[in-house]
């Protein structure tokens, strides 16, 4: 395993040890940290077969990808055992998705539902929704899986993990000022606080500018899924991917506008996780071409 500095991360380097695991080639990217310091683990899995030629997902490939990612995150060989690390048969599980403009793909939602079922959660206790129908908003849940789409956002810079819970805040519009810096406040709502067990980001067909409005020229078939338990760390990796894609598209630095302030605030003020690259352990599985991280 090779260790990288913060500067390496910001430049987008991501070389690592090659190996074979579950038919994939894993790449560990362990950023420099103090000895013994815990790191937030983020799994990025990609498959060039995940998106068909017409940019629709292959459900079978997507479910396989997600199970492999959750297995690696949990350190388990069996998908059922891996999902049981995060969800339990007596849970009422809320799958908070994005169903607005750049929506979470149904294939990803179905794969998360299947994972909850593998953990022994009855289908009747698995709730899926967004906005006014968000699980946990009116219907109590004991566990949440945060399942946003990967996209840039014209108000917050990035509209992914942290922003996915804005609908839980009693006054969502109050979180819009200053590039939506205070999005972490939505995670403090009592009905959902501390209930997020897993984060699964749909990075199959992301949007790297002008979100959440659908602008076709700014979407591309990335074929990825990101998984973790630290929402800020997962968002930080998502941010790196979007920024690197933007720079590649323009052939020069093209910073997100507005700047994504919410990640640092979610870290330092709301203590939801880490945004510091040196405290994030990224493990990449599968297809590595144009991974941008």
The yes-or-no verdict on residue 23 having pLDDT over 90 is: no
Q: Across residues 122-151, what is the average pLDDT?
A: 97
Q: Across residues 201-205, what is the average pLDDT?
A: 98
Q: Residue 22 — pLDDT band, cuts 50, 70, 90?
A: very low
What's the confidence (pLDDT) of residue 14?
32
Does residue 27 sit within a domain? Answer: no
Average pLDDT for the chain: 89
Domain of residue 93 covers 38-284
The yes-or-no verdict on residue 287 having pLDDT over 90 is: yes
What's the confidence (pLDDT) of residue 211?
87
Q: Across residues 62-78, what is the average pLDDT?
A: 98
Kindly report the backbone phi and psi dihedral angles of residue 216, in degrees, each rounded to the nearest multiple of 5, phi listed first.
-50, -35
Does residue 251 sit within a domain? Answer: yes
Among positive and negative, which fits the CA dihedral 274, 277, 278, 281?
A: positive
The yes-or-no verdict on residue 205 having pLDDT over 50 is: yes
Kindly report the backbone phi and psi dihedral angles of residue 136, in degrees, each rounded to the nearest multiple of 5, phi listed first.
100, -15
pLDDT tens by residue, 155-178: 999 999 999 999 999 999 999 999
Kindly report the backbone phi and psi dihedral angles of residue 120, in degrees, each rounded to the nearest multiple of 5, phi listed first.
95, 10
Does residue 15 sit within a domain? Answer: no
- Measured CA to CA in angstroms, residue 134 lies from 20, 146, 253, 272 at distances of 39, 11, 37, 20
Query: Exposure of 85 by Cβ count < 10 A (0-12 exposed, 13-18 middle, 19+ buried)?
Result: middle
Kindly report the backbone phi and psi dihedral angles of residue 205, in degrees, each rounded to the nearest multiple of 5, phi listed first.
-145, 70
In terms of pLDDT, which residue wins out, 8 or 275?
275
The yes-or-no verdict on residue 11 having pLDDT over 60 is: no
What's the confidence (pLDDT) of residue 81?
98
Q: Count Cα atoms within 13 angstroms, Cβ side, for 10.
A: 8
Does residue 30 sit within a domain? Answer: no
Q: Residue 28 — pLDDT band, cuts 50, 70, 90?
A: low
Percentage of the chain exceeding pLDDT 70: 87
Does residue 154 sit within a domain? Answer: yes
What's the confidence (pLDDT) of residue 35?
44
What's the confidence (pLDDT) of residue 31?
38
The yes-or-no verdict on residue 16 having pLDDT over 70 is: no
Among positive and negative, which fits the CA dihedral 221, 222, 228, 233?
A: negative
Lowest mean pLDDT among 2-6, 69-73, 99-103, 280-284: 2-6
Total structural domains within the chain: 1
Q: Residue 27 — pLDDT band, cuts 50, 70, 90?
A: low
Q: What is the DSSP string of the chain?
A: --EE-HHHHHHT--------BTTB--EEEEE---TT---EEEEEEE-TTSB-TTS-B-HHHHHHHHHHHHHHHHT-SSHHHHHHTT--TT--EEEEE--SSSPPPHHHHHHHHHHHHHTT--GGGEEEE-GGG-TTTSS--SEEEEEPEEEEETTTEE-STGGGGGGGSSSGGGG-HHHHTTGGGGGG-TTTTT-EEEEEEEEEEEE-SSTTS--GGGB----EEEEES-HHHHHHHHHHHHHHHHHHHHTS----SS--THHHHHHHTT--S---GGGEEEEEEE--TT---
Q: Across residues 169-196, what is the average pLDDT?
A: 97
Does residue 6 sit within a domain? Answer: no
Does residue 1 sit within a domain? Answer: no
């Amino acid at each position: 395993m090779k260790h990288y500095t913060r500067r390496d991360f910001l430049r987008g380097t991501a070389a690592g040890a090659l190996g074979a695991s579950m038919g994939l080639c894993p790449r560990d990217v362990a950023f420099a940290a103090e000895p013994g310091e815990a790191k937030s683990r983020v799994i990025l899995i990609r498959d060039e077969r995940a998106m068909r030629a017409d940019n629709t997902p292959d459900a079978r490939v997507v479910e396989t990808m997600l199970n492999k990612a959750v297995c690696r995150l949990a350190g388990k060989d069996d998908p059922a055992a891996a999902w049981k690390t995060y969800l339990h048969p007596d849970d009422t599980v809320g799958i908070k998705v994005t169903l607005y403009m750049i929506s979470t793909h149904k294939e990803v939602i179905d794969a998360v539902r299947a994972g909850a079922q593998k953990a022994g959660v009855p289908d009747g206790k698995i709730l899926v929704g967004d906005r006014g129908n968000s699980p946990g908003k009116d219907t109590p849940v004991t566990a949440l899986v945060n399942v946003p789409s990967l996209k840039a956002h014209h108000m917050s810079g990035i509209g992914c993990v942290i922003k996915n819970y804005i609908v839980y805040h009693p006054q969502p519009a109050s979180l819009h000022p200053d590039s939506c810096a205070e999005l972490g406040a939505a995670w403090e709502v009592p009905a959902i606080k501390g209930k997020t067990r897993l984060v699964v980001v749909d990075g199959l067909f992301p949007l790297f500018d002008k979100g959440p409005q659908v602008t076709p020229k700014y979407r591309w078939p990335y074929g990825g899924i990101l998984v973790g338990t630290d929402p800020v760390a997962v968002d930080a990796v998502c941010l790196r991917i979007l920024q690197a894609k933007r720079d590649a598209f323009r052939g020069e630095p093209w910073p997100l506008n507005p700047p994504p302030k919410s990640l640092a605030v979610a870290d330092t003020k709301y203590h939801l996780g880490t945004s510091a690259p040196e405290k994030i352990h990224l493990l990449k599985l599968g297809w590595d071409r144009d991974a941008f991280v």
